[in-house]
Amino acid sequence: MSEVHSDQLLSQVAALPALPGVYRYYDADGGVLYVGKARNLKKRVASYFQKNHGGTRIGHMIGKIARMETTVVRSEAEALLLENNLIKSLSPRYNILFRDDKSYPYLKISGPEKAGAEGAAPSAATFPRVAYYRGAVDRKHRYFGPYPSAWAVKESIQLLQKVFRLRTCEDTVFANRTRPCLLYQIKRCSGPCVNLVSPQDYQHDVQNAEAFLRGEAQAVLAALEARMMQHAQRLEFEQAAELRNQISALSKVLHQQSVETISDKDVDVLAVKMQGGKACVNLAMVRGGRHLGDRPYFPTHIEEAAAVQDFDISADEEEQAAGVPVEVQVLEAFIAQHYIGVPVPPTLITSEPVGRELIDALSLQSGIRITAVHHPREQRRLWLEMAQKNADLQLARLLAEEGSQQARTRALVEALDLAPDNLDSFRIECFDISHTAGEATQASCVVFHHHRMQNSEYRRYNIEGITPGDDYAAMRQVLLRRYSKLAEAGRDPPEATPPEAIPSNAGVSSGGGARRLPDLVLVDGGKGQVSMAREVFAELGLDLAVIVGVEKGEGRKVGLEELVFADGRDKVYLGKDSAALMLVAQIRDEAHRFAITGMRARRARVRVGGSQLEEIPGIGAKKRARLLQRFGGVRGVAAAGVDDIASVEGISRELAEEIYRALH
């Protein structure tokens, strides 16, 4: 194998130290192939270049290695932590990868931890608010979670409203109430906005709610009962009755939620399932003793990564006999990647045994002692069985959906008499134009590839310099912007062809573009739009046969669409129940949705004058959205004082003063 590698690379391998560390392999284009760790860098890395691995997966990877980077660390635990961080940031092609999901939602209780003065005027700062929150946490407020879904947070908020009657209204709404709202009438709020509850009593409710969220439900019940008896002894029967009702509501919730009285408060339950070359890791969350739901994760690069990891294991003489099942590799990869930047609970319940080394590294990273339980009992066993069942169901759903999408792709290829080199690489790009009476015109391009919609490759184009409402001119502009660079690259000699993808144009979402002409270009429209597309492609010297228009049928009814071709073929009606038409409709509808959401956002910016805020240093998209949402538009922001602006989450006093000056 060494004859295909440069002398410089081989000499670098020979000079490696016999110390723990992390190594990275790169191909000739600079792409990351693999990230691995070793207790002995010299021995591990040298093993890759000492044999001929033939046409195996590991052989294919080794043949692509053009250069290498290594980092020496002090211990295996440090090597493991560095390896995990590099895998997550570099996304190598031969490591098991889990998509980096959006941040988890939290339940937030804002405001001070101490009650305000008795008899003081009600203020938002005196009465903490319970709210849904997603983003970075800080020390100003108290956060509970993370939760597996937004639904789980909102369900918990409703529970707190029923039992503890905490307010959920925005501070500006709270400050402007003169009478209690509907939530007070239906006994979901205690009416702090109009002083219907004292700050001390409200603070008791906040403290009990926080204790309940921490899993101290029985202690909360005992405290409520003690307070109820004290009021009864003082003949304060109205207050005692309120506490009695609260105890009754909490007892009912505990019964409905099946909150356990066992010692577990915060636990993550992890179950892995493999079938048909695919895998699913199902993560169930238990917080405060309550099972909050679960979320499935589907890794990529399983077979390639498993082959390389098996080779890594066999390279260590001490572990030669210890074959690690793929399920264990997948689960360990998930644990290693998922808990980077995400709070880890003290207990993990796993369907497969995970290495002690990984758990120790996780403890080192989080600063708390982590325990992994593989053979749980009693309630823990029920949680694991539930997670395993959900992993089975989610993987079966994925396989069914993928099989269905592959069948739809094949049906479309056959219906249009196409002959792609590889059905899996069949690529469709679809365009749609959206505007409101000519205002804020935008074109969208969505991409279907590998039998699924590729959200990261979607693009939006702001259309300028045309007669308002001229959809044909808009289509011409977007097609020229999308494919002119590709046409130029195709006319260049092979050695001069630029390696980069089509760059994003002005007004286009960031990210990479396509490297080749798609197998099919769909335009939402009939003969007119197709004629415009044909003109553009003829002008650019591109293949007209790839252009297909989706013409609405009689009465614009769904299922009656016909396909119009740019190369002169007769129109085709695929049939109402055709799998090919289902795929075309799915892609067309996605392009329409993407265009409309972009157009509405652009129109809103134009109408409310959002650009005024964009010009202020320090105001990004999130802060601008919070300001507009709080004050109802730029006029509302301009009418607000510095103190009101500073009360918006994420806006400092200094930035509030800068905003005020800029708008005045």
Tell me the CATH number at 565: 3.30.420.340
How would you write 179-203 as a 3-class SS string?
CCCHHHHCCCCCCHHHCCCCHHHHH
Q: Given a cut of 80, is residue 13 above it in pLDDT?
A: yes
Distance CA 423, CA 418 (A): 10
- Using the 3D structure, point to which of 553, 583, 604 is the last residue of a domain: 604
Q: Are residues 244 and 288 in the same domain?
A: no
Taking all residues of the chain, what is their mean pLDDT, rounded to a whole number? 81
Residues 141 and 170 in one domain: yes
Model pLDDT, residue 281: 94
pLDDT digits (tens, 9 = 90+) for 576-595: 778 888 889 889 989 888 88
Place of tokens 């003793």: 289
Question: For position 636, which CATH number holds?
Answer: 1.10.150.20
The residue among 25 and 176 whose pLDDT is bigger is 25
Q: Is the confidence at residue 116, as pLDDT, over 80?
A: no
Choose among 588, 490, 475: nearest CA to 536.
475
The more confidently predicted of residues 19 and 122 is 19
State the pLDDT at residue 56: 74
Count CA atoms closer than 13 A to 645's CA, side-chain side. Answer: 26
Mean pLDDT of 607-620: 64
Q: Which residues of 241-279 are buried (b: 16+ CB within 10 A; e: fewer)?
A: ebbbebbebbeebbeebebbeeebbbbbbbbbbeeeeeb
Give Cα 234 distance to the centre of its chain.
54
| 356-376 pLDDT, tens digit each | 889 998 898 888 899 999 999
The answer on 125 and 172 residing in a single domain is yes
Determine contact, residues 25/13, Cβ cutoff 8 Å: no
* Residue 510 confidence (pLDDT): 33
656 and 567 within one domain: no
Classify the C-alpha dihedral 594-599-600-602 as positive or negative: positive
- Say yes or no to pLDDT of 574 above 60: yes
Assess whether 484 and 544 both reside in one domain.
Answer: yes
Residues 165 and 225 in one domain: yes
Q: What is the mean pLDDT of residues 394-414?
A: 86
At residue 587, the pLDDT reads 92
* Strand extents, DSSP E, 216-318: 267-275, 278-287, 290-297
Instruction: Give yes or no: residues 368 and 433 share one domain.
Output: no
Task: Give me the mean pLDDT over the 281-304 stretch.
Answer: 86
The arithmetic mean of pLDDT across residues 75-95, rounded, is 87
Do 338 and 224 sit in the same domain of this protein? no
Q: Is residue 96 part of a domain?
A: no
CATH number of the domain encompassing residue 272 = 3.30.420
Q: What's the confidence (pLDDT) of residue 213?
A: 81
CA 601 – CA 329 distance, rounded (Å): 43
Q: Does position 235 have pLDDT exceeding 60, yes or no?
A: yes
> What are the pLDDT digits (tens) for 19-78?
999 999 998 888 899 999 988 899 889 888 887 766 677 888 888 898 999 999 988 888
Instruction: Check pLDDT > 80 for residue 484.
Output: yes
pLDDT at 504: 34
The answer to whether residue 97 is domain-embedded is no
The pLDDT tens digits of the residues spanning 188-231 come to 898 999 888 888 889 888 988 888 887 776 677 777 777 788 77
pLDDT of residue 495: 44
Classify residue 10: in a domain, yes or no: yes
Same domain, 118 and 49: no
So what's the pLDDT on residue 72? 93
Q: How far is CA 170 from the centre of its chain?
A: 26
- With vertex at residue 422, the alpha carbon angle to CA 420 and CA 427, rounded to the nearest 5 degrees, is 65
Residue 353 is predicted with a pLDDT of 93
pLDDT of residue 23: 94
Tally of structural domains, the chain = 5
Tens-place pLDDT, residues 634-651: 777 888 888 888 888 888
pTM of model > 0.85: no
Regarding whether 433 and 573 lie in a shared domain, the answer is yes
In a shared domain, residues 622 and 496:
no
In a domain, 375, yes or no: yes
pLDDT at 624: 81
Can you give the pLDDT at residue 582? 86
* 436: β partners: 439
Per-residue pLDDT band for 352 (boundaries 50, 70, 90) equals: very high
Same domain, residue pair 582 and 643 = no
Contacts of 34 by beta carbon, 8 Å cutoff, 6+ apart:
24, 25, 61, 92, 93, 94, 95, 308
Q: Give residue 21's domain range.
A: 2-90
Using a pLDDT cut of 90, give the percent of the chain over it.
17
- Confidence band, pLDDT 50/70/90 cuts, at residue 558: low
- Residue 2: band (very low, low, confident or very high) from pLDDT cuts 50, 70, 90: low
